[in-house]
Structure formats: C-alpha cells, structure tokens
C-alpha cells in the first residue's frame, strides 16, 4: 500500500473551461514537444532516492493529457521506467476529455501501458456544457466511453459536477441517472466551487448567473450518495464512488500518506514522511528551468509533527468507511487526537458530524457534507 506513485502534469487543453483554475493553457504543438522533453529530463534527473524505487501507480493528469500523441506519452513513460521500477500490476491512468481521442490513439495508449482512463464528462446537458465552456457534447462523452470499451479499457472513471449555474435538482438527477446507466467502474462527483479569477466568478459578479445555492447543493449531494449506493457503488471517499475493488489506487496514496513524486509544471510531491515540494507553475518558465538547471522545484516545506498529525487526520477522514484509527495514529505521530482536539470533537459529535466507534474516528453522512468545516478545526 505504501509504495510511491508517480504523477505527471500535462498542462494543455483544447480551450479553457469557465470554472477552471488549474495550471493549464491552450495546446500548442511546439511547446508540447519541448514540454515532453523537459518532463522526461526531469524524471531521469530525479534524485530523492538513488536506487530505482518501485512505484505501482502512474497518473497522467492535467490539463488534457490525451492531447499528447501516443509517441509523446510513451517517451514520458519510458523515462519513468528508466528511473523507477514500475510494478507489473501498476495502475497507469490517463485523464482525457470526451472527443479528444481516436480508436488508433486509444489502442496505442493501451499498448504503451495505460490501463485506466479518467474523463471529464461533467454533465450530459448540452446547455450546461456550453455554459461551462466545454468543447464537447454529451454524445462525445457517450462515444468516447464506447471507444474506450472497444479498445479494451475495463477501468474507467467519469467526473461529473453538481451545482452548475441554473442547474435544478431534476437536471442533476438526470445527469446522475445517465452516468449510472453507462456504468463506469468509478465516479468522481464534485460540487461546483467558484474560484476567484475564473471567468465563471466574473459572470457571477456581473449577475449573469447566481452563486450556487448551498441548500440545493446539499440536496444534490444527498441524492448522489443515495443513487450511487442503490446502483451498487461504494462511496469510499467524500467525492469518489466505485464498483467493488475499483478505488483509484493512485488517489488513495494522497489520502493515506503514501509517498508520491510529481513531475511537470505545478506538480506536487511528498516523501511519505515530512518533506513536500512543488514545481514552478508556469509552463514556459518550467521548461526553461529544466533546460537550464535540470530542476524546477519552486517551494519546499518540511512539516513538523503536529502538522503531519493534523494532515493525516483530515486526509484520513476523507475515507468515509475507513476513517482514522486513533491508536495507529498515536503510534505513528505520537499525538493523542482525543486530547489535542477534545473540544472540537465534542462539538462535532454533538452536531452529528463525526462518530467514534471503538478506536475509529469517522465522518457521518452529515459530516461528509460539511467536511470543510470539520477539517478547518484540525489545521
């Protein structure tokens, strides 16, 4: 469980979506080529561990990594295989957007080693897609899923967003039903967050759309928990649902404190103990730094014992069934959560947001909905 994972950030998209604040820009062929070379170089120069550590997940995120050609993706994967031992059973995920892949490209991605696809459906309503600035239609999503299945992908994840501008509970229900009918192995279901500096935030400020209503968002969340559960999906994390055994093995590393090594602009890394670092966010500046220095690390942070304990606590609580085993936590971090947060725990318990069963602390369904308030007390 504690083997490291590798994350590769691909910062290119066909167009910018109105709600997105990720480190991405529009695709340019020459820059993509220089970027792939820089990432391969950064991976090969990685020097945290001298020996070739074994990793069992590789995750291409973005951005829209499926805009890379199979040859470009293979160059990066070859660099990963030269610098790390990639376990035979490794989960290799490629994020993609509907309508960005052809049957030939999918076959070539699979031949290169990709065995899991994660794609941003977001909504099946054409008007909602247009409002978000998405460049695909709902039919593109259905076709992409069919192509993935035909190409042999048996581990597929969809992203959907609830609480979109002017979205009703009924519209969200129809989206959910359609996603469940298509039966991907994994679903990531998010509530829309409006980030400052995005076109969506401006549109809301100008009065074009209303800010998402928190009560309606809560109803949508309850509906997704209920419908996914009836359809046989387990809610293993606050926003993530899967068929039995199909958790995202890579994302589990973030929630369980396993090490992960990120490459590419804005990628974050963690050594599994106390050290975190992250890369330069700007794509061009990243390429230049790698070409000139072989490294683009922009920030490093060494967490103290109390911070590590708090972080393990709020990340662990995201895993709803598993929760946090307080004895194991004390053995690992030498901190007594019951003593450190006695008042907060009593308050959350009284409000029905947490439960302590034996030695295990978990969020309740109400706590999952208000998780940010609970986590704020721990950090």
Positions in the binding site for ligand SF4 (CB under 6 A): 13, 16-17, 20, 22, 24, 62-64, 97, 120
- The length of the chain, given as a count of residues: 379
Q: How far is the CB of 55 from ligand SF4 (least distance, A)?
A: 24
Q: How far is the CB of 17 from ligand SF4 (least distance, A)?
A: 3
Nearer to ligand SF4, 64 or 235 (CB): 64
Nearer to ligand SF4, 24 or 235 (CB): 24
Of 353, 357, 355, nearest to 376 (Cα)?
353
Nearer to ligand SF4, 167 or 309 (CB): 167
Q: How far is the CB of 1 from ligand SF4 (least distance, A)?
A: 29
If DSSP codes are grouped into helix, strand and coil, which group holds residue 49? Answer: coil
Whole-angstrom Cα distance, residue 48 to residue 259? 11
Q: Residue 143: is it exposed, middle or buried by C-beta count within 10 angstroms (0-12/13-18/19+)?
A: middle
CA distances from 332 to 136, 142, 183, 326, 329 (A): 47, 46, 39, 10, 5
Q: How far is the CB of 25 from ligand SF4 (least distance, A)?
A: 9
Q: How far is the CB of 14 from ligand SF4 (least distance, A)?
A: 7
Q: How far is the CB of 62 from ligand SF4 (least distance, A)?
A: 6
Nearer to ligand SF4, 193 or 302 (CB): 193
Nearer to ligand SF4, 4 or 120 (CB): 120
Q: How far is the CB of 203 from ligand SF4 (least distance, A)?
A: 15
Look up residue 51 and give its two tokens.
């020996």
76 and 267 in contact (C-beta within 8 Å)?
Answer: no
Report angle CA 17, 18, 24 to the nearest 5 degrees. Answer: 45
Nearer to ligand SF4, 201 or 370 (CB): 201
Of 59, 46, 64, nearest to 10 (Cα)?
64
Torsion of CA 63, 64, 70, 75, to 10 degrees: 10
Nearer to ligand SF4, 24 or 155 (CB): 24
Q: In what order do the strands lie in the sheet with 297-302?
A: 234-237, 240-242, 186-191, 156-162, 116-122, 85-96, 54-62, 5-10, 260-263, 268-270, 275-279, 297-302
Nearer to ligand SF4, 99 or 272 (CB): 99
Of 357, 372, 367, 349, nearest to 322 (Cα)?
357
What H or E segment, with its residue span, contains residue 158? Answer: strand 156-162
Q: How far is the CB of 22 from ligand SF4 (least distance, A)?
A: 5
Nearer to ligand SF4, 13 or 296 (CB): 13
What H or E segment, with its residue span, contains residue 315? Answer: helix 305-318
The string of DSSP letters for 2-25 reads -S-EEEEEE-EESS--TT--SS-E
Q: How far is the CB of 97 from ligand SF4 (least distance, A)?
A: 5
């Amino acid at each position: 469980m504690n083997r490291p994972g590798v994350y590769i950030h691909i910062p290119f998209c066909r167009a910018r979506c109105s709600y997105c604040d990720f480190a991405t820009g529009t695709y340019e062929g020459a820059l993509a080529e220089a970027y792939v070379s820089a990432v391969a170089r950064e991976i090969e120069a990685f020097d945290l561990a001298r020996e070739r550590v074994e990793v069992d997940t590789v995750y291409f995120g973005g951005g829209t990594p499926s805009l890379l050609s199979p040859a470009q993706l293979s160059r990066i994967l070859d660099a990963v295989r030269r610098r790390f031992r990639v376990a035979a059973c490794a989960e290799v995920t490629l994020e993609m957007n509907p309508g960005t892949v052809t049957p030939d490209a999918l076959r070539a991605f699979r031949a290169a080693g990709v065995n899991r696809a994660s794609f941003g459906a977001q909504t099946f309503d054409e008007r909602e897609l247009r409002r978000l600035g998405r460049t695909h239609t709902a039919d593109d999503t259905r076709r992409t899923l069919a192509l993935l299945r035909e190409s042999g992908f048996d581990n597929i994840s969809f992203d959907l967003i609830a609480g979109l501008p002017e979205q009703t509970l009924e519209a969200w229900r129809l989206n959910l039903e359609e996603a469940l009918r298509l039966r991907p192995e994994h679903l990531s279901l998010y509530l829309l967050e409006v980030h400052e500096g995005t076109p969506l935030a401006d549109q809301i400020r100008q009065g074009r759309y209303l800010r998402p209503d928190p009560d309606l968002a809560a109803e949508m969340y309850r509906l997704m928990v209920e419908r996914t559960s009836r359809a046989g999906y387990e809610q293993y994390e606050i926003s993530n649902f899967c068929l039995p055994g199909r958790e995202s093995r890579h994302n589990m590393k973030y929630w369980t404190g396993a090490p992960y090594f990120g490459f590419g602009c804005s990628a974050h890394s963690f050594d599994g103990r106390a050290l975190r670092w992250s890369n330069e966010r700007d794509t061009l500046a990243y390429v230049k730094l790698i070409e000139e220095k072989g490294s683009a690390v922009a920030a490093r942070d060494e967490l103290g014992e109390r911070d590590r304990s708090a972080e393990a606590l709020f990340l662990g609580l995201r895993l709803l069934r598993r929760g946090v085993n307080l004895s194991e936590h004390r053995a690992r971090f030498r901190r007594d959560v019951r003593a450190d947060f006695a008042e907060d725990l009593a308050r959350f318990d009284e409000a029905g947001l947490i439960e302590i069963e034996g030695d295990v602390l978990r969020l309740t369904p109400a706590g999952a909905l208000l998780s940010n308030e609970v986590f704020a007390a721990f950090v």
